[in-house]
Chains A and B, each alone.
Chain A
Amino acid sequence: MTGRTLGRALVGAAIAAAVLLPLAFQGTQPYYLQLAINVLISATLALSWDLLARTGQLSLAHAAFYGLGAYTSVLLTTRAGVPVLLGMAAGALVASAAAVLLGFLTLRLRGIYFAIATLAFSETLRVITNQLPFTGRATGLIAPALLGGQRAAQYLVILVILVVLVIVSGWINRSRWHFAFTAIRTNEEVAAVIGVDVVRFKVLAFAISACFAGVVGAYYAHVFLFISPLEVYSLAVSVGALVAPIFGGLYTTAGPLIGAVVLRAGEELLRSTVGGGYPIIYGFLLAVVILYMPRGLAGLWSAASARLFRRRPLREARAG
């Protein structure tokens, strides 16, 4: 269908333009580049959280992996002279390892118990980091810059990270993993009885999700040059990571990205008007979505396009 391919090409071109635009403005309006970096960080966190959510594990520990990535990288680069990019890779590794641990620990926990346990894990890390002199306590740590502080180059780095994640997410959704994840999410016991290796998939999802959260955490550290427990282990990180996919459409690749972009834009707008209370939009949207549009934006789009184009909605994504 040429109509569809043309449509896809247009969307692709629009995205490419939007992505490259900030670079064009970097000389005159460096703010946009900064904003773009922030948006891409949020997008990566959102999509990586969604990966885990596909197995039915709605975690509140995303900040834990973000923070672990950040602290690992900063500690290695400042105390052991490790080059920044290697530090970032190490951050991803440590985050993944922690996720495997947490994954095994929480295997039998469901729903709210799981959420609380992950939250407890994240906050425990925050408290520990806050207390230990080794990690700089509440004062935090200063980090060396990535690629000499060149914003344009840094922007390309996060872009690459996000693209890799998008490819991974798309692949997962098109392969048999999609069925395993969905089966586990829908009904874990039945999935096991049918022969799905539930443990393997759940822990693997955790590891992959955390890997990206970790690398982004490290990235954040080396771009913004300063980290503290309150910032990187904060609940706001985990909340931002989960509201975006719920808002944009769970279990899809596009949903979390769209959600992240919209939310970040809204956040920037709000920050200028209400200052410290800007996360109020997250709370408000979360409540509204759960009450009135459980399928998020992607669900609305899919229902609308079904009516417009007489196509059946594809993957149906629902919160919960």
Chain B
Amino acid sequence: MVIFGVLRSGLYSLTSVGLALAVGVVGIVNFAHGEFLMLGAFLGYWLFFSYGLDPLAAIPIGAAVVFLLGAGVYRLGIQRVLRAPELNQMLLTFGISIFLQNLAIILWGGDPRVATVSYKASAVSLGALTVGVPQLVVFALAMALTLALYAVLGGTRIGKAMRAVAQNRLGASLLGIEVDRIYLLAFGLSTALAGTAGMMITLQLSVSPFIGLLYTLKAFAIIVIAGLGNINGVIYASLVLGLSEAFVEFYVPQGGGWAEGVFFFLILLVLLVRPRGLFR
């Protein structure tokens, strides 16, 4: 059970770290985050379907496309509300989310699509357990990307600029950092990360226009658990969610359905008890 929880948390990390980036650096809680994931997933599916391209291999393409999409959304809309009350921002991204989700429904229909990759069903035994190869690969890749992001934030000039902006917008601009450009990059990066996670999902699960909201909310749960703006805590928070879900699935009768609600429950719990997050 622990293994499954951990494996799942890898993907969750990747999904949420993008949102944490948007919240921490740009300061916007992007309700539409999951829709970018969904779009990435559809893109991965389409590339696989039309060109036989393995979703994992197509990640660079997908990431780039979603990045551009995200940058576009930023320029067209997000940029304008950064100075507006927080609630306006929330409502705008909420509106964008509804728009994108239904756009997908209109364009591609509401039925789930599945991409059957050749090694989808193959499994590996680790001791007494059999673990699916796709799950392992996704986990490894997701964790690698998450850690790579941490490295970028910590090591590169742009990464440091992002952290500076996250901590103190005014101070950063006084240091000569072009804050608006950083916002654009950070937002684009956050959506690209979501899109990448989406392409990984194509590998494991079915793709439908409705998965966006679910992942947005799970990502919310994770960043709330980690503490809004706390990018480093995301990995631990993802573990919390992944393990909790696995726990419920295994030990609660008919756990599958209940597990779907675990993150809501966690959100409520954290917000009511320790709104600042568990991993500050």
Contacts and interface: CB of A to CB of B under 8 A. Distances in A.
Direct contact of A and B (CB under 8 A): yes
Contact of A286 (B80, B92, B103): B92
Contacts, number: 128
Contacts of A291: 77, 80-81, 92
Say what secondary structure dominates the interface of chain A: helix
Interface string A278-297: 11101111110011001000
Contacts of A113: 224, 271, 275
A284 B97 CA distance: 10
A290 B92 contact: yes
B102 A131 contact: no
Interface of B: 29, 77, 80-81, 84-88, 90-92, 94-103, 105-106, 109-110, 213, 217, 220, 224, 254, 257-258, 260-261, 264-265, 267-268, 271-272, 275
A127 B261 CA distance: 6
Contacts of A285: 95
A1 interface: no
Nearest to A53: B87
A211 to B, nearest CB: 23
Interface string A120-139: 11011001101100000000
Contacts of A127: 257-258, 260-261, 264
Given A113-B224, A123-B261, A291-B92, 11 more contacts: A106-B271, A112-B87, A116-B271, A128-B261, A279-B98, A283-B94, A283-B98, A287-B92, A290-B91, A319-B85, A320-B88
A26 to B, nearest CB: 33
A163 to B, nearest CB: 29
Contacts of B80: 291
B95 A283 contact: yes
User: Which 7 residue pairs spanning A and B have beta carbons closest together?
Assistant: A286-B95, A283-B98, A283-B99, A127-B261, A320-B85, A280-B102, A277-B106
A43 interface: no
A134 to B, nearest CB: 14
Interface string A256-284: 00000000000000000011111110111
B101 to A, nearest CB: 8
B31 to A, nearest CB: 9
Nearest to B107: A277
